[in-house]
Chains A and B, each alone.
Chain A
């Protein structure tokens, strides 16, 4: 009975439990990956007590979602988020997990496996789930540091580390895996080139038209391509320096990622004499030639076919678990497969035939060049046998379903290519109504093989209300995400919640993305116009709305100073007309008064303007300047011209911009004054005027802690003290009154300017549009702002420098000629 040769604590427990329950059989699983653990989960669901289970994993981690490595590389998910089975799960299910210790031999006579550390485990049943290995061609230079593959967490770690210290990457392979690697590295700021053997990308999943569109879109996102590129050599002596192609082209690189394909991992099986071909040969029962040894996943070959996607693997896991549980009838049949590329903003769907192959095949093609969308259906006998979609893929699952079900499409043939909405009788598809109509057994999530009944069951049982909740408890929508709308539909149906509201709040109804995501994407993906942002991030409405367009306009202005051309039509009326619209449609005009100072010439000019244009009301504002109210739109250019002539410029009292710098008279006049607060205020205003912000920004400088300029309710407030200047941030005197937080104390006026510029730039770069500094500081925390602006001097100087750089383009007076087109203020009159 005791065949145990060497033991650890884990294995000792194993024997003890066997003695307590001698009827239990021992199942050993080699490979702690997606296929193996799915099989174990299915097995536990069927028969929790039949086996004592031991799992050997070569990797140090518990089972994780390999699919999501692409998202980890792209910075969209963390490693913690992609764990499928935590160590606690293994413990709860009494599974012995042995990590970082690959099995090195199988003894089929003794029925034991031996690990690299010398551990021996006996089995009654053995499951091989060793996955596959990256395919690597025999290239010179392959073993150089700086060369890696894309298969596991270690590879991703290596790529992320390289992206932090190096600039250039080459990816060999323009298939699914290679492109996702390229995109991830690009997202991490590297310049990336892809070398691909074939003339078009992803040629196994896409036809030439879609492959070409894909290349164009990726090219636009800054990935370079070398197609028809046969790699001959990885160059370098002690570190990779690039690749050399057969036609002589050379591509320099600091890191080379080889992602040309995978090869089933069959070494162990071969060594122990099991039948292997390309993969470990299994029958419809998932058993190998040895009836006690099963195999699932990418390591197998079934009826001549090998696998590289999880969907068929889930099916294998089901059948294998059924067999292990004693069900003699379970039979594996490979389901039809579809693929999707996981690059945010690029949508590709492909299933079945890529092109007409036989005489009787037909192709339906629809392309919209302007929108960059393409769809092709391959038909045989009035049935869909292939689909390639590019740019817009929401109909993919529907086509795929028609394909799997072999639906006769004769009746809808004329509209078929336009998608489900056009083909259905009513012309619209409500995703909720659609999921309502599905049977409980209908599969919702293809990646994780979750059907409707399981999802609705969990929603009810655990009172789930969020998409993340459903993901955590059912795995539905947790991997590639293409079933998200259906899962949201189920949430709406079962729990009556709008799941979309649960994530980060979308900017507006035109998009599902939140502000932070959009801001990051603009910078990371080099998006430089509003249409580009909208197209790239899949805006739902072609020219957005009054809420997202001004936000995008600001984000772009902030991200690309000097480069981005301000879009007037995306500005709110006040910023377009450089004046404040009033309730009767007239405007108010406020010229700038530096630090609240003025003089007789200015006051005379203001009085003259008021007389000349019949301005009905004048008022002194809270920001220490003079407001001319009731100016007609048509008069605006002339009013400005007169004010300009007297040396006055726009006060930007109408903008999400720097408004005023309020000051007190300070040490020049006041008996309490400790510093010249007025001059400080003027210097601040000279530096900051004209700057655009997520919301209005107000500054103030008081000459002593009596604080007559009310600096502690300003966005940036300065209070002079004997030894220098106290800097305060995040105050607000509006609806939600908020006193400032003390940022720090500095000694010189130069420092005041530097800290002010740095803080304002931080706010400009990070706040969400229409958040003032108060909610911004509350969101990120005062400590964060201090770390960025006070503690990190280099960062402060860099922020300040970026602020000044942007000011180089922002400091022009919109009132002066050229800043506006006077013409547009004119009312037209019908021709006589």
Chain B
């Protein structure tokens, strides 16, 4: 698709992966990338987050969890992951890798490694 590469910095490119409306509010979509699946989450306030689709507990697909506030609950054993930090909520301990994401004119752009 044309114009998907918006800018480049330190070997990463902003790549368009979806339109905002592709992701349901309080829902998620999965993006397949060279380094594995990434889950895009959209909050009730239309903030979009991108985290590896892989729970730090036992690898559950976070994209299939329930989104609430700025957190998602893993569908397998209910760990709650903070979408801002990628950290699991206490008492659980673990962290999910985040990927920079931005929404421009309804286009969701991910910072992917070239």
| Interface contact tally, CB-CB below 8 A | 91
Contact with A along B5-29 (1 / 0, CB 8 A): 0000000000111100010111101
Return A550 CB to nearest CB of chain B, in Å: 7
**CB-CB contacts below 8 Å: A618-676 with B:** 633
CA distance A827 to B40 in the complex (A): 11
Contact A581 B66 (CB under 8 A): no
CA distance A505 to B108 in the complex (A): 42
What residues on A are CB-neighbors of B100 within 8 Å?
none
* A544 at interface by CB-CB < 8 Å: yes
CA distance A568 to B27 in the complex (A): 9
> If A572-B75, A573-B75, A831-B17 touch, does A543 touch B61 (CB 8 Å cutoff)?
no
Return A511 CB to nearest CB of chain B, in Å: 13
What residues on A are CB-neighbors of B76 within 8 Å?
581, 583
Contact B73 A828 (CB under 8 A): no
CA distance A494 to B92 in the complex (A): 31
Contact with A along B67-82 (1 / 0, CB 8 A): 1110101011010100
* B88 at interface by CB-CB < 8 Å: no
CA distance A572 to B37 in the complex (A): 21
Contact B29 A824 (CB under 8 A): yes
Contact B44 A585 (CB under 8 A): no
- Closest chain B residue to A574 by CB distance? B75
Contact with A along B88-114 (1 / 0, CB 8 A): 000000000000000000000010100
* A569 at interface by CB-CB < 8 Å: yes
Contact A545 B1 (CB under 8 A): no
A543, A572, A576, A832 — which one has the most chain B CB atoms within 10 A of its CB?
Answer: A543
Across the interface, A544 reaches (CB within 8 A) one of B15, B65, B68, namely B68
> If A569-B25, A585-B61 touch, does A830 touch B110 (CB 8 Å cutoff)?
yes
- Closest chain A residue to B2 by CB distance? A831
Contact B26 A583 (CB under 8 A): no
> If A544-B68, A569-B66 touch, does A830 touch B15 (CB 8 Å cutoff)?
yes
* A425 at interface by CB-CB < 8 Å: no
Contact A569 B32 (CB under 8 A): no
What residues on A are CB-neighbors of B30 within 8 Å?
827-828
Contact A824 B66 (CB under 8 A): no
Contact B65 A573 (CB under 8 A): yes
* A542 at interface by CB-CB < 8 Å: yes
What residues on B are CB-neighbors of A691 within 8 Å?
none
Contact B31 A545 (CB under 8 A): no
Contact A827 B64 (CB under 8 A): no
- Closest chain A residue to B3 by CB distance? A831
What residues on B are CB-neighbors of A693 within 8 Å?
none
- Closest chain A residue to B13 by CB distance? A830
What residues on A are CB-neighbors of B73 within 8 Å?
545-546
Contact B75 A828 (CB under 8 A): no
What residues on A are CB-neighbors of B78 within 8 Å?
546
What residues on A are CB-neighbors of B37 within 8 Å?
827
Contact B64 A832 (CB under 8 A): no
Contact B68 A830 (CB under 8 A): no
CA distance A187 to B24 in the complex (A): 36
* B4 at interface by CB-CB < 8 Å: yes
* A712 at interface by CB-CB < 8 Å: no
CA distance A577 to B33 in the complex (A): 23
Contact A830 B31 (CB under 8 A): yes
CA distance A830 to B112 in the complex (A): 9
Across the interface, B68 reaches (CB within 8 A) one of A543, A574, A577, namely A543
* A800 at interface by CB-CB < 8 Å: no
Contact A573 B64 (CB under 8 A): yes
What residues on B are CB-neighbors of A576 within 8 Å?
64
Return B44 CB to nearest CB of chain A, in Å: 5
CA distance A637 to B100 in the complex (A): 31
Contact A831 B64 (CB under 8 A): no
What residues on B are CB-neighbors of A550 within 8 Å?
66
Contact A569 B27 (CB under 8 A): yes
Return B12 CB to nearest CB of chain A, in Å: 12
* A829 at interface by CB-CB < 8 Å: yes
What residues on A are CB-neighbors of B44 within 8 Å?
542-543
**CB-CB contacts below 8 Å: B16-58 with A:** 16-18, 22, 24-27, 29-33, 37, 40, 43-44, 58
> If A569-B25, A831-B17 touch, does A546 touch B68 (CB 8 Å cutoff)?
yes
CA distance A757 to B33 in the complex (A): 50
> If A546-B78, A585-B60, A829-B32 touch, does A570 touch B66 (CB 8 Å cutoff)?
yes
Contact B66 A572 (CB under 8 A): yes
CA distance A187 to B29 in the complex (A): 42
* A94 at interface by CB-CB < 8 Å: no
What residues on B are CB-neighbors of A633 within 8 Å?
61, 64
CA distance A730 to B1 in the complex (A): 58
CA distance A583 to B32 in the complex (A): 20
What residues on A are CB-neighbors of B68 within 8 Å?
541, 543-546, 549
Contact A569 B58 (CB under 8 A): no
- Closest chain B residue to A545 by CB distance? B68
What residues on A are CB-neighbors of B40 within 8 Å?
828
CA distance A827 to B17 in the complex (A): 10
CA distance A572 to B18 in the complex (A): 24
CA distance A585 to B57 in the complex (A): 13
Return B36 CB to nearest CB of chain A, in Å: 11
What residues on A are CB-neighbors of B31 within 8 Å?
827-830
What residues on A are CB-neighbors of B80 within 8 Å?
545-546
- Closest chain B residue to A550 by CB distance? B66
What residues on B are CB-neighbors of A569 within 8 Å?
24-27, 66-67
What residues on B are CB-neighbors of A573 within 8 Å?
64-66, 75
A542, A550, A824, A828 — which one has the most chain B CB atoms within 10 A of its CB?
Answer: A828
> If A549-B68, A831-B4 touch, does A543 touch B26 (CB 8 Å cutoff)?
yes
Contact A828 B29 (CB under 8 A): yes
- Closest chain A residue to B45 by CB distance? A542
What residues on A are CB-neighbors of B71 within 8 Å?
545
What residues on B are CB-neighbors of A543 within 8 Å?
26, 43-44, 67-69
What residues on B are CB-neighbors of A830 within 8 Å?
4, 15-17, 31, 33, 110, 112
- Closest chain A residue to B4 by CB distance? A831
- Closest chain A residue to B26 by CB distance? A569
CA distance A633 to B28 in the complex (A): 14
**CB-CB contacts below 8 Å: A524-578 with B:** 541-546, 549-550, 568-570, 572-574, 576-577
CA distance A574 to B40 in the complex (A): 19
- Closest chain B residue to A570 by CB distance? B66
Return B27 CB to nearest CB of chain A, in Å: 5
- Closest chain A residue to B107 by CB distance? A831
A569, A581, A832 — which one has the most chain B CB atoms within 10 A of its CB?
Answer: A569
- Closest chain A residue to B43 by CB distance? A543
Contact A828 B65 (CB under 8 A): no
Contact A832 B18 (CB under 8 A): no
What residues on B are CB-neighbors of A829 within 8 Å?
17, 31-32
Contact A832 B4 (CB under 8 A): yes
Return B1 CB to nearest CB of chain A, in Å: 4
Contact B1 A831 (CB under 8 A): yes
Return A369 CB to nearest CB of chain B, in Å: 16
What residues on B are CB-neighbors of A574 within 8 Å?
75
Contact B32 A546 (CB under 8 A): no
CA distance A543 to B24 in the complex (A): 14
- Closest chain A residue to B42 by CB distance? A569
What residues on B are CB-neighbors of A583 within 8 Å?
58, 76
What residues on B are CB-neighbors of A570 within 8 Å?
26, 66
Return A630 CB to nearest CB of chain B, in Å: 14
- A-B contacts, 19 listed (Cβ < 8 Å): A543-B69, A544-B68, A545-B68, A545-B71, A545-B73, A545-B80, A573-B65, A573-B66, A574-B75, A576-B64, A585-B60, A827-B31, A828-B31, A828-B40, A829-B32, A830-B16, A830-B17, A831-B1, A831-B4
Given A545-B71, A583-B58, 5 other A-B residues pairs in contact with their CB atoms under 8 A: A550-B66, A568-B27, A573-B65, A584-B59, A830-B112
Residues of chain B at the chain A interface (Cβ within 8 Å): 1, 4, 15-18, 22, 24-27, 29-33, 37, 40, 43-44, 58-61, 64-69, 71, 73, 75-76, 78, 80, 110, 112
For the complex of A and B, 9 pairs with smallest distance between CB atoms: A546-B73, A831-B1, A831-B4, A573-B75, A546-B66, A569-B26, A573-B64, A585-B61, A828-B31
